[in-house]
């Protein structure tokens, strides 16, 4: 038994960023052990993405082909990955905490009666035991836990997106591509995806925005978001919101930033009336600079902010927006 097996994800533009991140994490873990890094790529996009996966750190690519994989069904993807696991017998299986990976990682672990660490942000190898030690935020990000895997079974890790920096593509790297047919039985697909509905957001995508303007419970109602949209427009940014505000119906859930919403990584995150509960901070902690406008000087947001104003947003924001507009236009 040995090696690290990555669950690869392919999008319209080839290898997904999360897969490059997992390959970088796998290379980090294999640096000490010398373990081989294998990635499983499923379905028709696999062959086209294989060389990219090798350039990003894979030693071996399993191009998994089966008629059932033409449709993105989670149950079929799990069956396919499980078949690769039986072939490769990895000591470590890595998934991204994506809509697919977050479910398949735990399901694989439970099927094999082994442990799984969810939402990992850092992974190292214990030199004494050779087992992986993973760091993961718990209690909504209030604390960090280090966890490890007793025994000698497979270790399954689900890694938080953007937690690991991907390696630059090195086209001189070489690796092996293996075409693999898992021979899936159609009866394994029991929960069937029948439709995907995408809500197109206007302007800049929140996850990609360099500037984000966020509103929380402190702004008092749906109307105040117009002002936040205006500031975002001036700065070419996007608007975000805390979960409480989305649950209250002031703005759609697609604006939610946090542990269970979107993860943002802007250069500047301007928060208005956001208290900075750890569940929210979990989605914006990677912002390069946080600016806080809040009435409560003791609010948690000021602990994470670089710049802040303690005051009522109704008094602070009009002059702030006006000055920003003048500066940006000058």
List the beta bridge partners of residue 40.
7, 62
Q: How far is the CB of 173 from another protein (least distance, A)?
A: 33
Nearer to another protein, 185 or 267 (CB): 267
Q: CB nearer to another protein: give 176 or 236.
A: 236
**Minimum distance between the CB of residue 22 and another protein, rounded to whole angstroms?**
19
Residue whose CB is less far from another protein, 162 or 173:
162
Least distance from C-beta 300 to another protein, angstroms? 5
- Are β-strands 14-15 and 122-125 bridged in parallel, bridged antiparallel, or unpaired? unpaired
Nearer to another protein, 69 or 246 (CB): 246
User: How far apart, in whole angstroms, are the C-alpha atoms of residue 177 and residue 49?
Assistant: 11
Question: Minimum Å distance from CB 322 to another protein?
Answer: 8
Cβ proximity to another protein: between 29 and 257 the closer is 257
Distance in Å, CB of 147 to another protein, minimum: 5
Among 310, 312, 303, residue whose Cα is nearest residue 281: 303
Nearest to another protein of 84, 270 (CB atom): 270
DSSP output for 96-118: ESSTTHHHHHHHHHHHHT--EEE
In angstroms, rounded to a whole number, what is the distance separating the alpha carbons of residues 142 and 16? 30
173 by Cβ neighbours in 10 Å (0-12 / 13-18 / 19+) ranks as middle
115, 158 Cβ separation under 8 angstroms: no
Please, what is the minimum distance in Å from the beta carbon of residue 169 to another protein?
27
The two beta strands, 268-272 and 289-294, are parallel
């Amino acid at each position: 038994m040995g090696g690290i097996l990555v669950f690869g994800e392919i999008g319209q533009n080839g290898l997904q960023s999360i897969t490059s991140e997992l390959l970088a994490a796998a290379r980090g873990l294999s640096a000490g052990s010398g373990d081989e890094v294998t990635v499983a790529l499923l379905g028709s996009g696999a062959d086209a993405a294989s060389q990219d996966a090798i350039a990003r750190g894979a030693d071996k690519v399993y191009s998994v082909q089966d008629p059932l994989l033409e449709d993105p069904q989670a149950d079929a993807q799990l069956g396919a990955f499980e078949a690769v696991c039986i072939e490769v017998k990895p000591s470590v299986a890595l998934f991204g905490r994506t809509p697919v990976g977050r479910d398949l990682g735990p399901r694989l672990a439970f099927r094999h009666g082994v442990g799984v660490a969810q939402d990992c942000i850092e992974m190292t190898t214990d030199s004494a035991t050779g087992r992986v030690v993973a760091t993961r935020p718990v209690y909504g990000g209030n604390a960090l836990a280090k966890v490890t895997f007793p025994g000698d079974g497979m270790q399954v890790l689900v890694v938080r997106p953007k937690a690991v920096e991907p390696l630059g593509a090195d086209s001189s790297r070489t690796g092996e591509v293996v075409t693999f047919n898992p021979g899936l039985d159609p009866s394994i697909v029991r929960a069937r995806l029948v439709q995907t509905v995408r809500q197109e957001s206007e302007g800049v995508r929140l996850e990609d925005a360099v500037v984000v303007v966020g509103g929380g419970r402190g702004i008092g109602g749906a109307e105040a978001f117009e002002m936040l949209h205006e500031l975002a427009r001036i700065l070419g940014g996007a608007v975000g919101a805390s979960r409480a505000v989305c649950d209250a119906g002031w703005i759609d859930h697609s604006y939610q930033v946090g542990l269970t919403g979107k993860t943002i990584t802007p250069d500047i995150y301007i928060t208005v009336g956001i208290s900075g509960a750890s569940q929210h901070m979990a989605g914006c902690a990677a912002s390069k600079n946080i600016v806080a406008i809040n009435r409560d000087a003791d609010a948690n947001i000021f602990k994470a902010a670089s710049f802040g104003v303690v005051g009522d947003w109704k008094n602070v924001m009009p002059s702030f927006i006006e000055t920003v507009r003048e500066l940006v236009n000058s």
